[in-house]
Amino acid sequence: MAITVRDSKFILKTDNTAWILRIAEGYLESLYYGADVPDCDLEYLVNTQILNFAPYDADLGLKYIYGARLYLYSGANSGDFRTPACDVVDQNGYTGCRFSYAGYEILPETPADFAMPKIRGGGETLKILLTDRDKKIDAELYFQPAEDCDAFVRYARIVNRSGGVVSLKKAASLQLDFDNGRFDLLSVAGAPGDEMRNLRRPVTQGKAEISSRFGVTGHSANPFFALCAPSATEDAGECYGFNLLYSGNFKNEIECDCHGCVRVVSGISDENFFWTLKDGDSFYTPQAVCVFSEEGIGGMSRRFHRLCREHVIPPRYKDTRPVVANTWESFYFTVDEDKVRAFAKKAKEIGADTVVLDDGWFRNEDNENLGDWEPDSRRFPSGLGKLVEAVKAEGLNFGLWFEPEMISRRSKLFKAHPEWLLQNGDKGSESRNQYVLDMANPAVVDHVFGVMAAYLSRYDISYVKWDMNRYLSEVGSGCLSNQGEASHRYALGVYALLERITEEFGVLVEGCAGGGGRFDLGMLYYEPMIWLSDNTDPYNRTEIQFGAATAYPPCALSYHFSKGEGTSGKPSGPYFRMLAANFACFGYELDLTKLSGEEIAACRAFTEKRRSYDKYVLGGDFYKLDADGKYYYACLQVLKDRSAALLTFIQVDAQIRYESLVLRLKGLKSDARYKVGESGLVLYGRTLEKAGVRISDLLCPHWKEEDPSRIALKAGKAGSGIAFEIVEVKD
């Protein structure tokens, strides 16, 4: 049973973890969360020491000191000085709240009125009712085990029963307290073009914050973070991972108090957040997910990957992704109908299945026409209809770029509806020559839907690239009386639009926000893959992808083979650029019409090869192999039944001593025998794990430059690598 209720305790289990909650003296407390344990009566763990200077329950006295207990949802201004999960301004203007236990219910699934991205197929849910008895404000806490992923889904609903109007200043999705928490904090930090760097630092007394006030999750931080045992490695040690199914401003707070208690609070950012609740109104927080792994950071990553693959991305894309040929880096703003027609012919030749017409189809430069969405008559004289037909006639699908949330000052829409801009009374800032539409306004969402729907219903379009090229500033909405709701309502408006577009037209939406500016589980709920970065330099991209894979599965990362003239400044051959595609969804983004016959043939061979790897990329378990993250990166993608795996080795920097090296594999069946690439070796899984394989010419004895499956590994040279399969041999 995933949820058991017994002796004033709630016992929540996944395949390998347990979370034990108890009701004590009328309060809900966390007794234990971590690896599964056979005992549940863990009251002996409760800290009963008397803390100096610490407030206690006025009726219970010193035996109940708030600061010593581990809670699940603490109110502000209530005697527990640690970071609160919730803060309320009541009818009299007083702030703060204190929640005590008031009952529970077991629901068969997520409540039907929860209208945000959610874990799919989530089953039984424990709903615990907490209440502030004086203020008559409830906090319903939801706990949903995702057993197969060792994950718990957490969210809350705040209900106002006070008889008057109250305001929420803060409403987090998750709070988790650890006694004696000695952890490292692992997070993801980056910048446009340099997304998803992993950052590890010790948790010390004080507070760390990982947050966004960009209006979207942003390039520089990500809602994912983890608390790892200081000794935890990629393969061993305890690791708690956290993430949010949310795409707007978020705040993750990790606080270590003077007694060594570590509190995690995660949810919507409380900055500029102020939500009005009339009597009887309620507010759902977004869902948070936490996973626990005893198998190090890699174990945590694989649990998150499974969760994302099986329970987040739209199920219809579980086993399939298109191979895209995108016009952006091919033509930028010079794209025109003739070029796309010629491009499509070559796209067919290289084995792509979808041509995506990126930015430029409705404008000459980036300072005009956003919001109008009319094809540029100079370059697309017959509109898009004939072009779509021509692409379809090649046997390809057609995809179209939109930036639905944006508007140019130089547009008809700007003149017609200046009140549709996100604005707060200030003159507003421009960014990339554009402004943001007020997606908090349902009329704006309806309008944008209408514009996109006109294209999607008129033409045979199966793919939308949904871009967003600026952050939200001067946030405010003309349709709201309480501007503290604008940011969250913006996110809800975007979700509503995505929901309608994907449901009514069945199109695949590839997410993008100037690269990875909105890469999160909230978007992945609608978008099976997100363009991870505008940096397509294969050296940089490899590092970015490995960083992203700490939290997100390869099937969610979108990457295109490009010209390769990248920011690393290092030359890269075509096969090296292709190698990076082994752990991402793959496409092409260069002027295919300029490729020679030989290059086209090589691309075609690679497309075929890469498609045969889909089973590893879309469904495999991802293991980072002894990656030093400096000179080389290596990974193994292992099929669920562990009958085969794909090894990818990429050398990003020159280092003579890696001319030939031994890699130890992971995740295979110890007692099964595997054929190792074309080396002629057949070895037990245990041998491959313990003794490893030597990456050298042995594995590619007959390599030929044009054969992408056998890239020469030349004496520690940057820009080299190899990919090969390891397949179980049955006698």
| 129 DSSP β-pair partners | 103, 140
Nearer to ligand DGJ, 284 or 531 (CB): 531
Nearer to ligand DGJ, 465 or 489 (CB): 465
Residue with Cβ nearer ligand DGJ (110 or 469) = 469
**What string of DSSP letters covers 170-213?**
EEEEEEEEETT---EEEEEE--TTS--EEEEEE--SEEEEEE--
Does the protein bind ligand DGJ through residue 328 (CB under 6 A)?
Answer: yes
When asked if residue 294 is in the footprint of ligand DGJ (CB under 6 A), the reply is no
Least distance to ligand DGJ, CB of residue 402, Å: 10
Nearer Cβ to ligand DGJ (311/363): 363
Length of the chain: 731
Please report whether residue 542 would count as binding ligand DGJ according to CB under 6 A.
no
DSSP, res 80: -
Q: Which residue is nearest to ligand DGJ (CB)?
A: 359
CA distances from 283 to 108, 484, 497 (A): 21, 14, 20
- Whichever of 130 and 512 has its CB closer to ligand DGJ, that residue is 512
Residue 534 binds ligand DGJ, judged by CB under 6 A:
yes
Within 532-684, residue ranges assigned H as helices are 538-548, 574-579, 597-612, 614-619
Q: Which of 625, 619, 623 lies closest to 641 in space, CA to CA?
A: 619
Contacts of 238 (CB under 8 A, 6+ apart): 34, 35, 228, 229, 232, 292, 293, 294
Selected from 467, 485, 537, 725, the binder of ligand DGJ by CB under 6 A is: 467
Contact 263, 325 (CB under 8 A): no
Q: How far is the CB of 432 from ligand DGJ (least distance, A)?
A: 8
Residue 177 a catalytic site member: no
CB neighbour class for 283 (10 Å; exposed up to 12, middle 13-18, buried from 19): middle
Nearer to ligand DGJ, 81 or 333 (CB): 333
Which residue in 267, 514, 522, 566 binds ligand DGJ (CB under 6 A)?
514
Identified catalytic residue from 467, 520, 537, 621:
467
Q: How far is the CB of 351 from ligand DGJ (least distance, A)?
A: 22
Determine the distance from the C-alpha atom of residue 264 to the mean position of all C-alpha atoms in its chain, rounded to a whole number.
19
Which segment (101-109, 406-414, 511-519, 677-685) binds ligand DGJ by CB under 6 A?
511-519
User: Does 295 contact ligand DGJ by CB under 6 A?
Assistant: no
Closest distance between ligand DGJ and the C-beta of residue 533, in Å?
8
Query: Shortest gap between Cβ of 449 and ligand DGJ (angstroms)?
Result: 21
372 in active site: no
Q: Are 647 and 633 in contact (CB under 8 A)?
A: no
Q: What is the DSSP string of 474-523?
A: S---TT-S-GGGHHHHHHHHHHHHHHHHHHHH--EEEE-BTTBTT-SHHH
Q: Which stretch binds ligand DGJ (CB under 6 A): 162-170, 265-273, 512-520, 594-602?
A: 512-520
Binding residues for ligand DGJ restricted to 345-364, rule: CB under 6 A: 358-359
How many CB atoms are closer than 10 A to CB 671? 8
Backbone phi, psi, residue 12, to 5°: -110, 130
142: contact with ligand DGJ by CB under 6 A: no
Binding mask 430-459 vs ligand DGJ (x if CB under 6 A, - otherwise)? Answer: ------------------------------
Tell me: does residue 512 bind ligand DGJ (CB under 6 A). yes
Q: Quick check: 138 and 158 in contact, CB under 8 A?
A: yes
Which of 87, 376, 520, 534 is the catalytic position?
Answer: 534
Interface with ligand DGJ, residue 515, by CB under 6 A: yes
Which CA distances in Å does 150 have to 16, 136, 187, 242, 291? 6, 35, 20, 12, 6
Residue 467 CB, shortest distance to ligand DGJ, in Å, is 5
Instruction: Give, as ranges, the residues between 49 and 88 that touch ligand DGJ (CB under 6 A).
Output: none
Beta carbon of residue 146, minimum distance to ligand DGJ (angstroms, whole number): 32
From the CB of 469, what's the least distance to ligand DGJ, in Å? 5
Q: For ligand DGJ, which residue of 83, 217, 287, 469 counts as binding (CB under 6 A)?
A: 469
- Closer to ligand DGJ by CB, 187 or 434: give it: 434
Nearer to ligand DGJ, 73 or 401 (CB): 401
Give min distance, CB of 589 to ligand DGJ, in A: 8
Instruction: Kindly indicate which of the ranges 40-48, 483-491, 508-516, 710-718 contains the residues binding ligand DGJ, using the contact rule CB under 6 A.
Output: 508-516
Closest to ligand DGJ by CB, 67 vs 399, is: 399
Task: Tell me the one-letter amino acid at 307.
Answer: L
Interface characters, 388-427, with ligand DGJ (x: CB under 6 A) = -------------x--------------------------
CA–CA distances in Å: residue 700 to residues 680, 681, 711: 10, 12, 8
Residue listed under structure tokens 């190792």: 676
Q: How far is the CB of 322 from ligand DGJ (least distance, A)?
A: 16
Count of residues in contact with ligand DGJ, rule CB under 6 A: 11
For 170, other C-beta atoms within 10 Å of its C-beta total: 24
**How far lies 457's CA from each of 329, 385, 575, in Å?**
28, 12, 39
3-state secondary structure 683-698: EEHHHHHHCCEEECHH
Give the Cβ contact number of residue 682 at 10 Å: 13
80 vs 358 by CB, closer to ligand DGJ: 358
* Residue 29 touching ligand DGJ (CB under 6 A): no
* Measured CA angle at 147 (ends 143, 152), to 5 deg: 30
- Who contacts 511 (Cβ-Cβ below 8 Å, separation ≥6)? 466, 518, 519, 523, 524, 526, 527, 529, 530, 531
CA–CA separation, 28 vs 396, rounded Å?
57
Which region, judged by CB under 6 A, interacts with ligand DGJ, from 33-41, 67-75, 415-423, 507-515? Answer: 507-515
The C-alpha atoms of residue 349 and residue 601 are separated, in whole angstroms, by 8
The binding site for ligand DGJ (CB under 6 A) comprises 328, 358-359, 401, 467, 469, 512, 514-515, 531, 534
Annotated catalytic residues are 467, 534
